[in-house]
Amino acid sequence: MRRHAYLLLLMVALLAVALACNPAGSGDDGREATRTALQATLNAGVTVAAPATATAAPAGEQPAENTPEPAPPAEDDAVVQARAGATATAEAIAARQTEQAVAAGDAAAATAAAVAPIEEELRSYGIDPAQGRVAWIHPPVEISASGYMTYEWDVDLVAVAKDFVVAGDITWNTQYGSTGCGYVMRSDANDNSGSRHLVIATRYANGEVLFVTQANGNLLRDEIQRLDANIIDPNFEWQNDTTNHIAVVGRGNVFSVYTNGTYIGDATASQGLEKGFVAFVALNESGTTYCRFDNAWLWLFN
């Protein structure tokens, strides 16, 4: 409609131009000019829009009405229940995964918190924690040995140790000073005829640490080595029901012993046992010996 209005205005403008060029009184020449201008405008494509007419519906038919689309068919109850069940299962799985992720994060944080003091202790012995890994952190262990020249031990069969560091807090109560508590190292776990090294802290001479080797069930008495703890370590406690932190660094045939963080010496084994299990041990000469091990851990070199 707007286009037709524009064209009508154009026709009027052209008519005005024609009249201006042929003022009133010029007679037939003016009328002829007007007709020429109008004809040129029509030839340029000006059309007159026909009035809109309504299209009648065919005879016998009613005009279409605006009716809403039909609703989709209702879902079967089984489908609805299946969808609800699947949604519930997915939500349960998501919740479980979240719970597991939180638990894993808590475990990682607990492990990191437990390993941190171990790594600090390793550095105090001149060992780079990156050179190995923690094999285990042990729960408390209590061992009692009774009878003449007997020993009892608790073997941890989780890890085989070659070069290692083992440490823990040892609390003791013994009837004789020559008996004590300590570690079994590189053991083949054979009670009667096995081979192993032992480091035993005793109350003898106000604090002495023994290094002993057993080969094929036989104690090598001539190779027992003694390290004086009380002379070197001013914090060594030799009385009953006291606690000392005992650590052993085993590399090759050399075993470095630390009491309460103080280096007290090396013991060298003539019988080279390459690797084996680590254990806690109570050695008894007579009467009864009681040993408790707390905060114990084993670290392995790569």
Q: What is the pLDDT of residues 238-249, one digit of tens each?
A: 999 999 999 999
Residue 78 is predicted with a pLDDT of 77
- Cα radius of gyration rounded to whole Å, the chain: 51
Residue 298 is predicted with a pLDDT of 97
3-class state of residue 269 by DSSP: coil
Is 18 a residue whose pLDDT tops 50?
no
If we measure between CA atoms, which residue out of 203, 207, 136 comes closest to residue 166? 136
Residue 77 is predicted with a pLDDT of 78
Q: What is the pLDDT of residues 142-152, one digit of tens each?
A: 999 999 988 89
Residue 6 is predicted with a pLDDT of 45
- Min mean pLDDT across 73-77, 91-95, 261-265 is at 73-77
Residue 260: inside a domain: yes
Span 3-19, mean pLDDT? Answer: 44
If we measure between CA atoms, which residue out of 231, 256, 267, 261 comes closest to residue 245? 261
Q: CATH number, domain at 241?
A: 2.60.120.560
Q: What is the pLDDT of residues 219-231, one digit of tens each?
A: 899 889 999 999 9
CA distance 104 to 222: 52
| pLDDT interval class at 90 (50, 70, 90) | confident
Residue 64: inside a domain: no
**Contact, 135 vs 256, CB < 8 A?**
no
CA distance 247 to 293: 12
Total domains in the chain come to 2
3-class state of residue 49 by DSSP: coil
Q: Domain range holding 23? A: 2-43
**Alpha carbon 152 to chain centroid, angstroms:** 39
Question: What separation, in Å, do the N-terminal and C-terminal C-alpha atoms of the chain show?
Answer: 92
Q: Is the pTM of this model over 0.75?
A: no
Residue 107: inside a domain: no
Residue 63: inside a domain: no
Phi, psi of 61 (to 5 degrees): -110, 145
Q: What is the pLDDT of residues 164-218, one digit of tens each?
A: 999 999 999 999 888 999 999 999 878 778 899 999 999 999 999 999 999 998 8
Q: Are residues 269 and 136 in the same domain?
A: yes
Residue 71: inside a domain: no
User: What does each C-alpha distance from 121 to 110, 166, 188, 248 come to in angstroms?
Assistant: 18, 11, 28, 12
Query: 10 Å Cβ neighbour count for 168?
Result: 22
Burial of 69 (0-12, 13-18, 19+ CB in 10 A): exposed
If we measure between CA atoms, which residue out of 283, 272, 219 comes closest to residue 250? 272
Residue 50: inside a domain: no
Structure-block tokens of residue 181: 């508590």
3-class state of residue 109 by DSSP: helix
Q: Are residues 34 and 174 in the same domain?
A: no
Is 251 a residue whose pLDDT tops 70?
yes
Residue 6: inside a domain: yes
Residue 125: inside a domain: no
Q: Are residues 239 and 139 in the same domain?
A: yes
Q: Give start and end residues of each alpha helix (H) in the chain.
A: 2-21, 28-43, 77-124, 229-232
Residue 60 is predicted with a pLDDT of 52
CA distance 78 to 71: 20
Residue 177 is predicted with a pLDDT of 86
**Alpha carbon 3 to chain centroid, angstroms:** 73
Q: Are residues 179 and 289 in the same domain?
A: yes
- Min mean pLDDT across 111-115, 173-177, 256-260 is at 111-115
Residue 272 is predicted with a pLDDT of 75
| pLDDT interval class at 74 (50, 70, 90) | low
CA distance 196 to 278: 9
Q: Are residues 167 and 263 in the same domain?
A: yes
